Structure 1
Amino acid sequence: MERSLMSQLAHVHHPIASPLDDSSVARVLARALDRGGERVLDLGCGQAEWLIRALERDPATTAVGVDLAAGGLAEARRQADARGVGERLVLEQADAAALVPEEPFDVVISSGATHAFGGLTGTLEAAHKHLAPAGRVVVGDAFWLTEPSPEAVEMLGEYEDLADTVDRITAAGWTPVYGHLSTRHELDDYEWNWTGALSAWALDHPEDPGSADALKAATAHRTEWLRGYRDSFGFHTLVLRRTEG
């Protein structure tokens, strides 16, 4: 099964593709979009749930979402139109890392998509290219809560603890003005939703050619989570401003 379709199915019950609950998303958006009427860009928007919620909270906000996955963008369009914000949302099927800067944005979001930019530092560099002066970046990425096992590092990649992560961000010229650390409930709820939604779809569609692959992927993911990285994995969502320049 195509990876983007699998992700779409896995996020049916958790459209924010990061381990934050609804109240946490609302708090982050309130801190990032605190002036009203902002132009917002999401690099790697998926189903554009961050943007749709930003548009719902302020009728003067406009937004652009960029992603490669056609299926996610189609669902984003359907949701935006159904929720009455479609006229203020532009969706582009393109490589977010290669997007050419045009008119700057007041807020740039990239949550759970740092892999597309080669990591956290690359994500911030890409966001900066599109950011207006005094603008804000919302970035969500992993960090290690405790010393990870070699298996956890192999599964998820190289990360740092929270203090070193923030030091790296500030050394790159950014200042955190707000932050949210996903709670144990948020982390677990995200994983149960991801694996559960994908498993349920596979069980409900046994004749679909992708059913076996979906169930296999959900089972493998659940095992990796519970036996591999659950105790060491953390997730931060930071609102950042440029320290200078």
Structure 2
Amino acid sequence: MDIPRIFTITESAHRIHNPFTPAKVATLGEVLRLEPGTRVLDLGSGSGEMLCTWARDFGITGTGVDMSVLFSRQAQQRAEELGVADRVRFIHADATGYVAEEKGSVAACVGATWIGGGVAGTIELLARSLAPNGLILIGEPYWRQMPPTEDVARKCLAGSIADYLPLPGLLASFGALGYDVVEMVLADQEGWDRYEAAKWLTMRRWLDENPEDEFAAEVRATLTSEPERYTAYTREYMGWGVFALMAR
């Protein structure tokens, strides 16, 4: 069980696998008013930076679930590095359908809503691991500007314009599902640049070290096309944020 190899290569040096900077991760923990002992479930936890730094800074306990072998290993190493391995644990597994044995105060899926077939299904899944009056965290893209054509949407790596909503529409969709939006933290362009541009150096170094690898041609093609594609399309049209929800 693992994610596609291209992500394992391009994001192998990332601690955060979304457009948040460390400062944004810290801000999210602050605005949620996390208290020591708060139990957090993170589905699609990546390299564990959110859980590990929140355990260090706010005293939370938590469980992360991710299907990447590399990222799960990096998460455990990060927990040990920060001295919080006794407070957070990481499970290498498919987060699809995962329900915690013990309900917690925060259930999160920050950028992997495919595990529930979209936002609505992921919220429904997270709610099964949530104690009464708990917080659901959803990390999701939105259109910062509406793409003028379907081709532009695809160049933003969306399947179509309909895949995402403008920010007001996304917030309204949470209400239609029976949830209050009680907080949000939005990525900025610096965060987008750190997430996307950091991949380019990682790819170049991987290519230099693995010129004969059978995957090298795909990595080379990605490195060649991504800087122009990202700056022309994703950087101009896409936003991303984490939204805190409470059931009405």
Q: TM-score, normalised by structure 1?
A: 0.89
Question: What's the CA shift string for 1:116-145, capped at 9, x where partnerless?
Answer: 222222221111111111111222110001
Find the residue that maps to 2:134 and give its secondary structure.
strand
The answer as to whether partners of 2:41 and 2:100 remain within 8 angstroms in 1 is no
The answer as to whether partners of 1:203 and 1:211 remain within 8 angstroms in 2 is no
Find the residue that maps to 1:87 and give its secondary structure.
coil
Find the residue that maps to 2:62 and give its secondary structure.
strand
1:166 shift after superposition: 0.3
Amino acid of the structure 1 residue aligned with 2:158: L
Q: What is the Cα-based RMSD across aligned positions, in Å? A: 2.0
- Which aligned pairs between 1:212-227 and structure 2 lie closer than 5 A? 212-227=217-232
1:56 aligned partner: 56
- Which aligned pairs between 1:127-166 and structure 2 lie closer than 5 A? 127-148=126-147, 149-154=149-154, 155-157=157-159, 158-166=163-171
- Which aligned pairs between 1:1-245 and structure 2 lie closer than 5 A? 3-59=3-59, 61-148=60-147, 149-154=149-154, 155-157=157-159, 158-243=163-248
- Output the CA distance in 2 between the equivalents of 1:221 and 1:114: 24
* Residue ranges of structure 1 left out of the alignment (5+ in a row): none
Find the residue that maps to 1:34 and give its secondary structure.
coil
- Output the CA distance in 1 between the equivalents of 2:38 and 2:174: 24
Amino acid of the structure 1 residue aligned with 2:210: H
Question: What's the CA shift string for 1:51-103, capped at 9, x where partnerless?
Answer: 111111134x2111111122211111112112211122222222212213421
The answer as to whether partners of 2:3 and 2:68 remain within 8 angstroms in 1 is no
1:209 shift after superposition: 4.1
Find the residue that maps to 1:234 and give its secondary structure.
strand
Question: What's the CA shift string for 1:136-164, capped at 9, x where partnerless?
Answer: 12221100011113123332131010011
Bigger mean CA offset, 137-146 vs 189-198: 189-198
* Residue ranges of structure 2 left out of the alignment (5+ in a row): none
Residue-pair matches, total: 241
- Output the CA distance in 2 between the equivalents of 1:110 and 1:152: 27
- Output the CA distance in 1 between the equivalents of 2:99 and 2:191: 35
- Output the CA distance in 1 between the equivalents of 2:204 and 2:137: 31
Gap change, CA 1:8 and 1:84, over 3 Å in 2: farther
